[in-house]
């Protein structure tokens, strides 16, 4: 069950009185509504079918609209990089128990008839309920295998079915308070706690302290630690998952819930998370005052430099003079300040020849770079906050994206299908968009090798989600170009597309399939990000948003190698390989064909590499075939480019 909806403008969202449905409420059939129909003896309502007709055209249009918007049968509309951030929507509640509706609502075609006879109708029901006896002709037990009781009885001209509430439904009626669950991303015990409440059909408010940072401080104040999961019934701390299971196994859970959750949720209970509000602190860069002065005072104009027209640039000596006058300092300090400004990616050399050198060179501000307007993490101005540490950014990115895939309803349990529309409206995605602006001037050189690997794997998968939401799934060759080449972020002062991340960084600056050139040319300022050698396992950690892609995964820096190995084994276990021993044929994913250089190049080397990640029957078959010495044929399976919706 999804966590209940939190209204951003209310702090006591779950404190409102819950509607209590009396035991034995009047329901219809198996859906719980009152069903009123003709008996075989009563035909006076023969015209009722005409009342229920609706105009076909309006209904059809509305149905088509709902299918297209909510069913994702059409691509998500394209949006520009400069659009407003998506408005976050908390997860919507799913009411497990059915609720009694008014007769007029449930049966509009005879609503007037029922209202006119409401007094006699209610009296007849009361009399029937009080007089019904087990074994009488009017008593019928329905759907006993489903674990609930249904009593059917007849009133002249009216058929009424009453579904008695289950024990869980009666317990829900007595709960007026709130269950609060504190969790973390990528935490097995937190996932188990969610599943526990879902299995019990209990509503709860989840506070992920990796998403809502300040809520971690509240948890520390209340419990003395940040250990999760922690469960509160109203303002009473129950404990962790072990305590919850112990109460359930001993049969004390229901009594504890009645005792602590019977009253309304008091003010002293943990505060529900507020959606659409930033609770992370940003610190303005110490040099931003100087930079703002330079933006206003330097002569920025188009110039002809080395037989090329360079737009919106300024001369280095002019910048040094402006700094000296503004800070009232000497030339040495002026040059040193200019170098720090360049190192923080406020400015770049127009041809990328240096960070900053004293002499006749030309520079321009990051916001004036030709690529900047095409970057989807750039809005009307650059982010002038102090760049956050690279390790912090890598950790924050992984935690936010883990929370997306773990949230019920965003990604399927097998992680092969993604609801991009729901993600686009989520608080987690809104915070991710804010995080991407902090990537503009991050110092990528401070990453350790494992941090860099996990960071770019996670960023690639997150960018794919953002690209699908912003421009839709690619439908052809031209769309593939827009998707993998033109969708970019500015990271560490330079543009990064999906293709740049995959082929330029993760694949050690190798040509992409069907390309004639390498992503980075000699002297490219991004070459320092290229690893020493290619790790072929990366191909099983990258989700391209297609049906033939590996599962959507995110990785941790401290365990990225083991997680990639697990991803490869899982991919081959799930139809990534098929072996026909009689034909001596191995059917492999086309991903290996496209990037065969990464797997050894030769067919035998490819099969030997694949063997390392096979288990069970496939491993035995391939090992036997390789040991025979006879030729083995490799057939590459078709790749399904349709979206993983």
pLDDT digits (tens, 9 = 90+) for 261-290: 988 899 999 998 888 888 888 899 999 999
Per-residue pLDDT at 171: 64
Helix (H, G, I), strand (E, B) or coil at 377: coil
- Percent share of the chain, pLDDT over 90: 63
Alpha-carbon distances, residue 58 vs 55, 74, 423 (angstroms) = 6, 20, 30
Q: Which two tokens stand for residue 586?
A: 């191995």
The residue assigned the tokens 């040495």 is 332
Task: Count each helix (H run) and each strand (E run) in the chain, helices first.
Answer: 23, 16
The answer to whether domain 170-260 and domain 287-370 are alike in fold is: no
pLDDT at 84 over 60: no
Given 1.10.10.10, 1.10.150.120, 3.30.70.20, 3.60.15.10, which CATH number is that of 287-370?
Answer: 1.10.10.10
pLDDT (mean) for 409-413? 92
pLDDT digits (tens, 9 = 90+) for 179-203: 999 999 999 999 999 999 999 888 8
Q: How far apart are CA 644 and CA 415, in angstroms?
A: 9
Identify which has the larger pLDDT, 392 or 127. Answer: 392
H helices within 410-540, ranges in order? Answer: 420-424, 427-437, 449-471, 477-481, 498-499
- Quick one: which of 94, 90, 107 has its CA closest to 33? 107
pLDDT at 529 over 60: yes
Q: How far apart are CA 322 and CA 324, in angstroms?
A: 6
Per-residue pLDDT at 130: 52
Domain spans of the chain?
170-260, 287-370, 390-563, 569-636
Partners of 239 in the beta sheet?
Answer: 231
- Quick one: which of 142, 249, 254 has its CA closest to 201? 254
Q: How far is CA 109 from the centre of its chain?
A: 43
pLDDT at 67 over 50: no
Instruction: Share the mean pLDDT of the chain.
Output: 82
Beta strands at 158-163 and 150-155: parallel, antiparallel or unpaired: antiparallel
Q: Which two tokens stand for residue 456?
A: 């770019």
Per-residue pLDDT at 201: 85
Q: What is the DSSP string of 201-227?
A: T---EEEETTTSHHHHHHHHHHHSS--
Q: For domain 170-260, give the CATH number.
A: 3.40.30.10
Per-residue pLDDT at 48: 40
Q: How far apart are CA 549 and CA 416, in angstroms?
A: 8
pLDDT (mean) for 599-607? 93
The residue assigned the tokens 């509640």 is 93
Name the strand (E) or helix (H) holding 397. Answer: helix 390-406
In which band, very low, low, confident or very high, does the pLDDT at 5 lie, cut at 50, 70 and 90? very low
pLDDT at 53 over 80: no
Q: Which two tokens stand for residue 295?
A: 């933006």
Q: 293 CB contacts (<8 Å, ≥6 apart)?
A: 322, 326
Per-residue pLDDT at 61: 47
Q: 10 Å Cβ neighbour count for 169? A: 18
Q: How far apart are CA 484 and CA 627, in angstroms?
A: 41
- Quick one: which of 152, 198, 611 has its CA closest to 409? 198
Q: 298 CB contacts (<8 Å, ≥6 apart)?
A: 314, 318, 319, 322
Q: How far apart are CA 29 and CA 25, in angstroms?
A: 12
Q: 386 CB contacts (<8 Å, ≥6 apart)?
A: 282, 283, 284, 285, 286
Q: Could you tell me if 262 and 365 are in contact, meaning their C-beta atoms sit under 8 angstroms apart?
A: no
Q: pTM value?
A: 0.76
Name the range with the highest mean pLDDT among 14-18, 253-257, 416-420: 416-420
Q: Could you tell me if 451 and 558 are in contact, meaning their C-beta atoms sit under 8 angstroms apart?
A: no
pLDDT at 44 over 80: no
pLDDT digits (tens, 9 = 90+) for 435-444: 999 999 999 9
pLDDT digits (tens, 9 = 90+) for 498-519: 999 999 999 999 999 888 999 9
In which band, very low, low, confident or very high, does the pLDDT at 63 lie, cut at 50, 70 and 90? very low
In which band, very low, low, confident or very high, does the pLDDT at 99 lie, cut at 50, 70 and 90? very low
């Amino acid at each position: 069950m999804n966590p209940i909806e939190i209204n951003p403008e209310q702090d006591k969202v779950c404190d409102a009185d819950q509607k209590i449905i009396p035991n034995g409420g009047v329901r219809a059939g198996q859906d719980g509504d009152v069903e009123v129909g003709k008996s075989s003896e009563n035909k006076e309502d023969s015209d009722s079918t005409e009342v229920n007709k609706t105009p076909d055209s309006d209904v059809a249009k509305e149905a088509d609209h709902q299918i297209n918007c909510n069913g994702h049968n059409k691509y998500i509309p394209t949006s520009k990089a400069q659009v407003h951030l998506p408005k976050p929507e908390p997860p919507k509640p799913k009411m497990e128990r059915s609720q009694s509706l008014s007769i007029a609502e449930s049966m509009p075609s005879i609503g007037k008839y029922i209202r006119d006879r409401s007094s006699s109708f209610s009296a007849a029901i009361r009399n029937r309920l009080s007089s019904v006896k087990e074994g009488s002709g009017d008593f019928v037990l329905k759907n006993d295998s489903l674990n609930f009781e249904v009593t059917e009885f007849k009133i002249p001209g009216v058929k009424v079915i009453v579904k008695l509430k289950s024990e869980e439904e009666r317990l829900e009626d007595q709960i007026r308070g709130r269950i609060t669950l504190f969790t973390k991303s990528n935490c097995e015990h937190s996932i188990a706690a969610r599943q526990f409440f879902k299995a019990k059909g209990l509503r709860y408010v989840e506070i992920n302290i990796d998403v809502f940072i300040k809520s971690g401080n509240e948890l520390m104040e209340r419990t003395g630690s940040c250990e999760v999961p922690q469960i509160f019934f109203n303002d009473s701390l129950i404990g962790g998952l072990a305590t919850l299971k112990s109460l359930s196994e001993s049969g004390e859970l229901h009594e504890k819930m009645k005792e602590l959750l019977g009253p309304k949720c008091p003010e002293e209970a943990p505060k529900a998370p507020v959606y659409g509000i930033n609770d992370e602190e940003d610190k303005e860069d110490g040099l931003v005052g100087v930079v703002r002065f330079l933006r206003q005072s330097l002569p920025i104009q188009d110039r002809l430099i080395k037989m090329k027209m360079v737009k919106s640039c300024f001369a280095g000596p002019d910048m040094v003079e402006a700094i000296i006058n503004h800070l009232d300092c000497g030339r040495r300090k002026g040059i040193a300040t200019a170098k720090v400004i360049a190192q923080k990616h406020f400015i770049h050399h127009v041809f990328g020849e240096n960070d900053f050198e004293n002499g006749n060179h030309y520079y321009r501000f990051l916001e004036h770079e030709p690529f900047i307007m095409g970057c989807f993490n750039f809005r009307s101005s650059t982010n002038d906050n102090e760049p956050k540490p690279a390790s912090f950014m890598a950790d924050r990115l992984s935690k936010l994206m883990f929370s997306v895939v773990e949230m019920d309803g965003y990604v399927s349990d097998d992680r092969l299908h993604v609801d991009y529309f729901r993600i686009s409206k989520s608080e987690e995605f809104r915070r991710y968009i804010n995080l991407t602006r902090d990537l503009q001037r991050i110092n990528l050189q401070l990453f350790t090798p494992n941090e860099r690997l996990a960071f770019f794997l996670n960023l690639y998968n997150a960018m794919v989600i953002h690209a699908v939401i912003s421009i839709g799934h690619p439908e052809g060759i031209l769309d593939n170009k827009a998707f993998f080449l033109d969708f970019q972020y500015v990271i560490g002062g330079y543009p990064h597309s999906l293709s740049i991340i995959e082929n330029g960084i993760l694949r050690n600056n190798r040509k992409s399939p069907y390309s004639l050139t390498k992503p980075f040319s000699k002297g490219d300022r991004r070459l320092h990000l290229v690893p020493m050698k290619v790790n072929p396992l990366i191909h099983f950690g990258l989700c391209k948003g297609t049906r033939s892609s590996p599962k959507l995964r995110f990785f941790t820096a401290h365990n990225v190698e083991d997680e990639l190995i697990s991803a490869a084994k899982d991919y081959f276990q799930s139809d990534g390989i098929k072996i026909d021993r009689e034909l001596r044929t191995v059917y492999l994913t086309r991903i290996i064909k496209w990037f065969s250089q990464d797997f050894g190049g030769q067919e035998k080397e490819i099969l030997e590499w694949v063997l390392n990640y096979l288990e069970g029957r496939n491993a035995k078959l391939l090992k036997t075939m390789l040991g025979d010495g006879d030729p083995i044929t490799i057939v590459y399976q078709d790749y399904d480019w349709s979206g993983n919706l």
